[in-house]
Amino acid sequence: MTAKNAFYAQSGGVTAVINASACGVIETARQHKDKIANVYAGRNGIIGALTEDLIDTSSESDAAIAALRYTPSGAFGSCRYKLKSLEANKREYERLIEVFKAHDIGYFFYNGGGDSADTCFKVSQLSETAGFPVQAVHVPKTVDNDLPITDNCPGFGSVAKYIAVSTLEASFDVRSMAKTSTKIFVIEVMGRHAGWIAAAGGLVEDHDIPVLILFPEIELDQERFLAAVKAKVEKHDFCTIVVSEGAKYPDGRFLAEQGTRDAFGHAQLGGAAPVVANMVKDALGYKFHWAVADYLQRAARHLASKTDVDQAYAMGKAAVELALQGHNAIMPTIVRASNAPYRWEVGEAPLSKVANVEKFMPRDFISEDGLGITTACKEYLIPLIQGEDYPPFEKGLPKYVTLKNAPVAKKLGAFEL
């Protein structure tokens, strides 16, 4: 078997640990030089493959690649760009094959969420549909935690930890101020369709914090919600509210829609927190503060979950190993072996069963009134936020790596996206 090159790309929203997966891919590939000559990364994701804008990761030192493990964001750039079906856009697939041929690419590692799993699956079919031999392996990543089959998704554990810790800290703050000032603290978190991240805020309940959650899965019952807020404030003098960006009115409208859409056609959200805060103020008169964590939550590598970092790395490593074993159209998964003590192992799933399937919060993870989480949910979440894995600091700031990202010499003509 002659050594082929591998293509690796990051796709969709980045996370605190997607670079840990990149680290797993590249370090593992470097241990198998006989089979994987070089790892070429797509600059800005799949766009890098289409425009032949490849990054030569072999020009990075071992130390720089190791530093990816504790560096948030997407070190090679990511993109929001979804390939259409082969029938609808044959030109893009032909271009991919052209680029892969020109650079002797035999392995395709795609690091992303549900939309990206679909792209990866389409690429995996090129052997059959276009007669081009490439092994495509998806490396799971999404803060939304909504990929099927895998017990959880790399990226989620760290954002869950960030939201749980931040909600706890801000709730302590509000509790201090409630006598004469703020009684309501609203924190808006990511999660367009699935409430996994919002659920993590519910973990503060075990620290004596009165908390209510607005999930995307449960349509807002305004009357019930306001009654619950009132009851919490009357009992505890304050209340913390975690609202998912995807929380909706009964008519299906998002609490806050900015009116713009991303490249996948998803509505761009933001600003549910002030809507909820004002709703409470108008009905109950409580003084409020609100926060929108936005990118802070998914970039917060300084507070990453060690479990998450380890799993992100393991998924990158397993992806390469699956490819070397000859697999195609596959994704490594995280399999939960036990809850307490938490044990997990690496499994695998066929991409045909992963692409375009979203995993929502099971109804028995949400409390009966729709405004909290259950014990089963807590047992699921706690292991995922377990452990700290601090980056090194210098002059008070984390010492994150910025790679050289040297380009691979182009061999083909330009390509219009």
Q: Looking only at residues 277 through 306 of this chain, which bind a copy of itself when binding is defined by CB under 8 A? A: 287, 289-296, 298-303, 305
**Under 8 Å between Cβ of 108 and 75:** no
263 touches a copy of itself by CB under 8 A: yes
Q: Is residue 260 involved in binding a copy of itself (CB under 8 A)?
A: yes
Residue 274 token pair: 């002030």
**Which residue stretch of 60-68, 98-106, 265-273, 350-358 sits at the interface with a copy of itself (rule: CB under 8 A)?**
265-273
Which residue, among 119, 113, 276, has the nearest Cα to 185 in the 3D structure? Answer: 276
* String marking each residue 78-107 x if it binds a copy of itself according to CB under 8 A: xxxx--------------------------
Give the nearest distance from C-beta 138 to a copy of itself in angstroms: 19
For position 181 contacting a copy of itself by CB under 8 A, the verdict is: yes
Residue 412 contacts a copy of itself per CB under 8 A: no
Q: Give the single-character DSSP code of 184.
A: E
Q: Which run of H or E residues covers position 135?
A: strand 135-140
What's the min distance (Å) between Cβ of 210 and a copy of itself?
Answer: 13
Judge residue 183's burial from the number of C-beta atoms within 10 Å of its C-beta, 0-12 exposed, 13-18 middle, 19 or more buried.
buried
**In the 8-state DSSP scheme, what is residue 384?**
G
Q: Decide whether 249 or 295 has the Cβ nearer to a copy of itself.
A: 295
| Minimum distance of a copy of itself from residue 14's CB (angstroms) | 5
Q: Is there binding between residue 338 and a copy of itself (CB under 8 A)?
A: no
Give, as ranges, the residues between 354 and 393 that touch a copy of itself (CB under 8 A): 382, 384-388, 390, 393
CB of 341 to a copy of itself, least distance (A): 12
Which residues neighbour 323 within 8 Å (Cβ) at sequence distance 6 or greater? 6, 107, 109, 135, 137
Question: Counting contacts by CB under 8 A, is residue 128 touching a copy of itself?
Answer: no
Q: Does 272 bind a copy of itself (CB under 8 A)?
A: no
Does residue 179 belong to the site contacting a copy of itself (CB under 8 A)?
Answer: yes
Can residue 11 be called a binding residue for a copy of itself (CB under 8 A)?
A: no
Determine if 271 is a binding residue for a copy of itself (CB under 8 A): yes
- Taking the C-alpha atoms of residue 355 and residue 266, their distance in angstroms, rounded to an integer, is 17
Binding mask 197-216 for a copy of itself (x = CB under 8 A): ------xx--xx--------
Calculate the alpha carbon distances from 173 to 183, 233, 238 in Å: 10, 15, 11
In this structure, what token pair is assigned to residue 81?
A: 């760009």
Site for a copy of itself in 145-174 (CB under 8 A): 161, 164-166, 168-170, 172-174
User: CB 342 → a copy of itself: shortest distance, Å?
Assistant: 10
Residue with tokens 């800290």: 169
CB environment 360-379: b (16+ within 10 A), e (fewer): bbeeebbbeebbbbbeebbe
- Per-residue 3-state assignment (H helix, E strand, C coil) for 33-84: CCCEEEEEEECCCHHHHHCCCEEEHHHCCHHHHHHHHHCCCCCCCCCCCCCC
Binding pattern for the stretch 14-53 against a copy of itself, x by CB under 8 A and - elsewhere: x-x---------------------------xx-x------
Q: Which residues are catalytic?
A: 144
Nearest residue (CB) to a copy of itself, 176 versus 325: 176
Q: Phi-psi region for residue 319, left (φ > 0), alpha (ψ -120 to 50) or beta?
A: alpha
Tokens representing 232 are 């919490």
Q: Is 175 in the site for a copy of itself (CB under 8 A)?
A: yes
